[in-house]
Structure 1
Amino acid sequence: MQINSFEEYQRNYQLSVDQPEEFWARIADNFLWKKKWDKVLSWNFSEPNIKWFEGAKLNITENCLDRHLAENGDKPAIIWEPNDPQKDSITLSYKILHEQVCRFANVLKKNGVKKGDRVCIYMPMVPELAVAVLACARIGAVHSVVFGGFSAKSIADRINDAQCRLVITADGAFRGNKQIQLKEVIDDALIGCPSVEKVIVLTHTRTPVSMLKGRDIWWEDEIKLVDTNCPAEEMDAEDLLFILYTSGSTGKPKGVVHTVGGYMVYAGYTFSNVFNYQPDEVFFCTADIGWITGHSYIVYGPLSQGATTVIFEGIPTYPDASRMWQVVEKHKVNILYTAPTAIRSLMSFGLQPIEGVDLTSLRVLGSVGEPINEEAWHWFDENIGKSKCPIVDTWWQTETGGIMISPIAFVTPTKPSFATLPLPGIQPVLVDEQGNVIEGNDVSGNLCIKFPWPGMLRTTYGDHERCKQTYFSTYDNMYFTGDGCLRDVDGYYRITGRVDDVINVSGHRIGTAEVENAINMHAGVVESAVVGFPHDVKGQGIYAFVIFPNAHGDEDLTRKDILQTVTRVIGAIAKPDKILFVSGLPKTRSGKIMRRILRKIAEGDTTNLGDITTLLDPAVVDEIIEKAKK
């Protein structure tokens, strides 16, 4: 299953294009199936209707846990590193993880959760989060993990959209020097969530919480009432595994749906190959399990391959900027997979935090979430990898389920800031605005994928039409990624950023409409427009242009009020970096806001605004430029 030379990559890639069904059947044979498939693939992008490994029966947790027990039961599956470096880390072997998953799966069943039920998980980065995810999969319940930084309203939207029956949370979470009251946020969210019958609460921060009789129960009490015998539910390959909500270009987040069989095969295959994972290595992905990176490359990908995966509760700069490097040294990490935002943030502290820290265990470095700039690439390569560790600069999305375009460690020659070449099975194309395919090299266009792969989304939960409109209707018979891309003279791909109304902040996609909706909820706001702008650390920041007639009284206080509103409605992750109060927005005569002009102003490029004479009020542009300069 593992590719070990560039010639082997080329052979595999060609086979995956010429005979995709034969190729993926061969990969799938490396996994455990209760019943093999009747058909490898049936697909239609215009519907869209995609099915992989039809008729196959399996349970993903048997692939992540049970099949490793006989030979590797005592091998570390999860190493948990707490937020506080003074506290001890915890290691769970495959045997212990299997027992904990089975026990908690029985807790879910005892509380009425059945195959197909949706479960919302809102937890800190603790081993129990992975246990909860796998316990859902064990019994065929569909998990919907919500990142611990989202607000009560954001959680309520997600719970109601998926009609979740049960919520799993904790009293609180530690993040750096902050404590986050998770249970309190859930209590606020559940005021408007009639579908939720039970809330299971893990004790973690020992924060006092309100426990509602008949609804709220303690994790610790419940696991004492069940045993560890829980046979895995037989699932169809196309049964739902999880829903993960992602921002789009409209205000409402969409629930991306991944199914059991194809997702498992793709996450496992990409993990093994991209990182060149070797037995007994320690893999450290610094993402949160609340994002797709955590699903695929902390939980399912590594565990399906019998790997040792690190779960880190803290942040890279707490208690100081040497923390992440100390975690690498402490656990002798071999593969480090992190985000350009983290790298740029750590770069700003200079080399002093690395001094005296032993990083010699590192063999492979990885980057995820957004394109990595050349300066950060070189810093990572020279100072962390000592110019000996290949950097896999991975491009993929929540919707793709796993890595799509990336170097394969020790196989693909790398090039700073390029995601390089597509993995076997992935057929990228660049198209122009009209959907014409752009052939050859040294070209740029919009990035599409013209053939299905096992890890791709199947639908958006409860709204298949939205899935079709968002991903499959822009260009005929293609999946549209929403990203711009260039292909250089060597055929290497470089992602150039979003081409739709989505901003990539610290590797997390945030829809401009979602932020605008939140700003517009503030009582004094008449209208707002949000765009992305270059940010030294985050890659992209959020710039809000706001019409607020009475802001001149105390602009600073008004800004804080608006930031507070956004935090309440979405979460702190979506707070604008800059808010500029304006008297009007550049609009066409039909009322469309010209975000292209605002983007230029936000970037500080006011010399090339294009034709503004067609605007309803061209003078408003000059006024915005003047205010932005101050």
Structure 2
Amino acid sequence: MKQAVWFPTEEYKEKTRLYGWMKSLGYEDYETFYNKSIEETAWFWGEAEKAVGYQWMKPYTEVLDLENGTPFAQWYNGGTCNVVESVLSRWLADDETRMQTALQYEGENGTSKSFTYEDLDNWVSRVANGLKHAGIEKGDRVTIYMPMIPETVVAMLAVMKIGAIISPIFSGFASDAVMTRVQAAGSKMIITADGFSRRGKVVSLKDEVDKVCEHCPTVEKVVIVRHAGNDFTPHNYDFPWSALEKEKPFTHAEEMNSDDPLMLIYTSGTTGKPKGTVHTHAGFPLKSAFDAGFGMNIKQGDRVLWVTDMGWMMGPFLLFGSLINGATMVMYEGVPDFPEADRLWETVDKYEITHLGISPTLIRALMAKGDEYVNKHSLKSLEVFASTGEPWNPDPWMWLFETVGKNNVPICNYSGGTEISGGIFGNVLIKPIAPISFNASLPGMAAVVLDDQGNPIRDEVGELCLEKPWVGMTKSFWEDDERYVNTYWSRFENKWVHGDWVIYDGEQYIITGRSDDTLNIAGKRIGPAEYESILVKHNDVIEAAAIGVLDDVKGEVCHCFVVLRDNVTFTGELKKELMSLVNSHIGKALCPKDIHVVEDLPKTRNSKVMRRVIKAAYLGKELGDLSSLVNPEVVPFIQGLQSSKL
């Protein structure tokens, strides 16, 4: 067990929202309260939505319905709502909150814009009406392929307000990755920008969208926000964002059932196409707001900055977690170390950020820049660091705590996933916090660590599972219930198998990695199949496999292994071609670290490529059982690839 380095005082504990809420329910001890939260699931989530202050158009009659089985649990039956009522409308009745800053934007070039709750509501309402006039109806899917600018938030909320479904996509994806997700969602509209700024250079988005539209017949309109000012080729499907803004406000939010979808977020698996997680009006927003408010103590008037993108789950989390709690959502466009290495710390001081969301990869990179960039700034407004996306290693965690936080700012490690709508584990602020670990399962999350036979274990690595449903659990995969059940519910009866390896010692949890093959590059999860399908497009490549390898900066990087056609020589030029091919399809941020040529890939008798064996061989680790391989003779060559570089 790791020794704690941050300890809440009694005064601090009593001022947290979590402690105040627990006490109002008759609890002062976290473990007792947590046990109650997982023993009486319906009671807990009924109390949780009240504590969040979720807004209902019609009250629900039943908190939890398991008639269709645990994998398809239904929440708040009979209730109707629209998330925009909880995000914006609830704050308009009071003069103080109406005029409070809801959204603060900082451009990479230094441009600053702010919008009150009243401003944002009016803007969202006008765009919502514009979308209706542009032909978007309840249930239509709208892809959001946008940078971190205010229009992105407005677009998302406007789509939700009229009962349509958003599908946000990472702005760093290239056309093929976008196309796959647009096709899977059957999107009727894409909302994008001409481009955005990254390290002082304009990155075009519209050009990528035009490539997508060649293969996506469901797309009728592409709405373009003029942001970067770069040129692009006009098409008949183009529709100006400015036309949406000119409409009169649509003041009535569409009344939705509690389990109606509001968002599809695509997350990668180890095989096949990306999985479209389905999130509902009383699911993802409520779970995100609860975790932010009671896990991270985000409250009315706080200012929350998260270094993320709207295409990853922490983007929507930032939106809901900030605004449903009455805080200010702070957006930064660009990279956090440009034009100088202290840009992030400068931004924290400029906007008096109280809650800063980061990833271990980002902190590793900023730590390498030097302490002097931190010491130039007071950072006195900071109350909480929140860390997501990947496991920590000790040195950067301690650097963040000691050098940046001056041994005073707690680090809320937070781990869950897109399918969770938030966290399974966290660092609750009423308990001591130790480096790189989690001090609690979050309320309502019935986490357990199991061995291969499904038995609970301690002090050794096991499979992270959940024994009870929770609000925010993905409703399914979009139009693919079978894959959803097979992915999470098929291994142990009525237990969600999350895919993380975890050690639990009775007090702390430490995540050691993924139990599947999904890569986690700087907090961005992507399936190996996406790399492999791109590489085999090249005429000289017959087969390909991708694995994740630990990296000091990104946490994990991709290494690809390819089998070439006969009589093809692997030259430096061919390697550049393959790197460029992958880069052009999925984006530079996710490009492989290296590409290796092998004579063959280790396979089973049913031709399944054994990525586990490739990874173990390349890293010089124990190979495990190779009896299922039809070609074990290829393994020694892979083992020699890494050793040849040492």
TM-score (norm 1): 0.95
Aligned to 1:299: 319
Aligned to 1:443: 460
Gaps of 5+ in 1: none
1:343-354 mapped onto 2 (5 Å cutoff)? 343-354=363-374
User: 2:49 matched to 1:49?
Assistant: no
1:377-392 mapped onto 2 (5 Å cutoff)? 377-392=397-412
Tell me how far apart the structure 2 counterparts of residues 491 and 177 of structure 1 sit (CA, whole Å): 46
User: 2:215 matched to 1:195?
Assistant: no
1:557-596 mapped onto 2 (5 Å cutoff)? 557-596=573-612
Tell me how far apart the structure 1 counterparts of residues 218 and 633 of structure 2 sit (CA, whole Å): 51
Aligned to 1:78: 103
* SS of the residue 1:359 aligns to: coil
* SS of the residue 1:521 aligns to: coil
Which amino acid in the other structure matches residue 43 of structure 2? Answer: E
Aligned to 1:259: 280
1:156-305 mapped onto 2 (5 Å cutoff)? 156-213=179-236, 215-224=237-246, 226-296=247-317, 298-305=318-325
Residue 615 of structure 1: CA displacement?
Answer: 4.3
Q: What is the total number of aligned residue pairs between the two structures?
A: 619
CA contact (8 A) 1:532 1:602 kept: no
Tell me how far apart the structure 2 counterparts of residues 504 and 216 of structure 1 sit (CA, whole Å): 35
* SS of the residue 1:526 aligns to: strand
User: 2:445 matched to 1:417?
Assistant: no
Which deviates more from structure 2 when the two are superposed, residues 522-531 or residues 97-106?
Answer: 522-531
Residue 376 of structure 1: CA displacement?
Answer: 1.3
Give the CA RMSD over aligned residues: 1.9
Match of 1:474 among 491, 512, 523: 491
- Deviation string, structure 1 residues 456-481 (Cα, Å, up to 9, x no partner): 10011011111111111122111110
User: 2:623 matched to 1:609?
Assistant: yes
Aligned to 1:69: 92
1:4-153 mapped onto 2 (5 Å cutoff)? 4=19, 7-29=28-50, 30-43=53-66, 48-71=71-94, 72-84=97-109, 87-153=110-176
Tell me how far apart the structure 2 counterparts of residues 515 and 44 of structure 1 sit (CA, whole Å): 40
Residue 493 of structure 1: CA displacement?
Answer: 1.2
1:486-525 mapped onto 2 (5 Å cutoff)? 486-488=503-505, 490-525=506-541
Residue 587 of structure 1: CA displacement?
Answer: 3.1
CA contact (8 A) 1:381 1:391 kept: yes
Tell me how far apart the structure 1 counterparts of residues 181 and 261 of structure 2 sit (CA, whole Å): 16
Which amino acid in the other structure matches residue 641 of structure 2? Answer: K
Tell me how far apart the structure 2 counterparts of residues 98 and 127 of structure 1 sit (CA, whole Å): 12
Aligned to 1:3: 18
1:391-406 mapped onto 2 (5 Å cutoff)? 391-406=411-426
Which amino acid in the other structure matches residue 477 of structure 1? Answer: N
Aligned to 2:3: none
Tell me how far apart the structure 2 counterparts of residues 33 and 203 of structure 1 sit (CA, whole Å): 36
Residue 515 of structure 1: CA displacement?
Answer: 1.4
CA contact (8 A) 1:211 1:217 kept: no
Match of 1:457 among 465, 468, 474: 474
Residue 131 of structure 1: CA displacement?
Answer: 0.4
CA contact (8 A) 2:301 2:327 kept: yes
Tell me how far apart the structure 1 counterparts of residues 484 and 602 of structure 2 sit (CA, whole Å): 31
CA contact (8 A) 1:9 1:424 kept: no
- Deviation string, structure 1 residues 58-83 (Cα, Å, up to 9, x no partner): 11101110111122111010110101
Aligned to 1:332: 352
User: 2:445 matched to 1:426?
Assistant: yes
Tell me how far apart the structure 1 counterparts of residues 256 and 629 of structure 2 sit (CA, whole Å): 56
Which amino acid in the other structure matches residue 313 of structure 1? Answer: E
CA contact (8 A) 1:248 1:510 kept: yes
Tell me how far apart the structure 2 counterparts of residues 237 and 265 of structure 1 sit (CA, whole Å): 11
Aligned to 2:11: none
Which deviates more from structure 2 when the two are superposed, residues 194-203 or residues 23-32?
Answer: 23-32
CA contact (8 A) 1:47 1:468 kept: no
Residue 554 of structure 1: CA displacement?
Answer: 5.5
TM-score (norm 2): 0.92
Tell me how far apart the structure 2 counterparts of residues 614 and 99 of structure 1 sit (CA, whole Å): 62
Change in CA separation of 1:136 and 1:38 when aligned onto 2, cut-off 3 Å: same
Gaps of 5+ in 2: 1-15, 23-27
Tell me how far apart the structure 2 counterparts of residues 288 and 375 of structure 1 sit (CA, whole Å): 26
- Deviation string, structure 1 residues 178-237 (Cα, Å, up to 9, x no partner): 321111111110011111111111000111122223x2121123322x112421111110
Change in CA separation of 1:278 and 1:48 when aligned onto 2, cut-off 3 Å: closer
Tell me how far apart the structure 1 counterparts of residues 178 and 604 of structure 2 sit (CA, whole Å): 36
* SS of the residue 2:322 aligns to: helix
User: 2:555 matched to 1:533?
Assistant: no
Which amino acid in the other structure matches residue 321 of structure 2? Answer: G
- Deviation string, structure 1 residues 529-573 (Cα, Å, up to 9, x no partner): 211111111111111111124797452221221122222333334
CA contact (8 A) 1:325 1:359 kept: yes
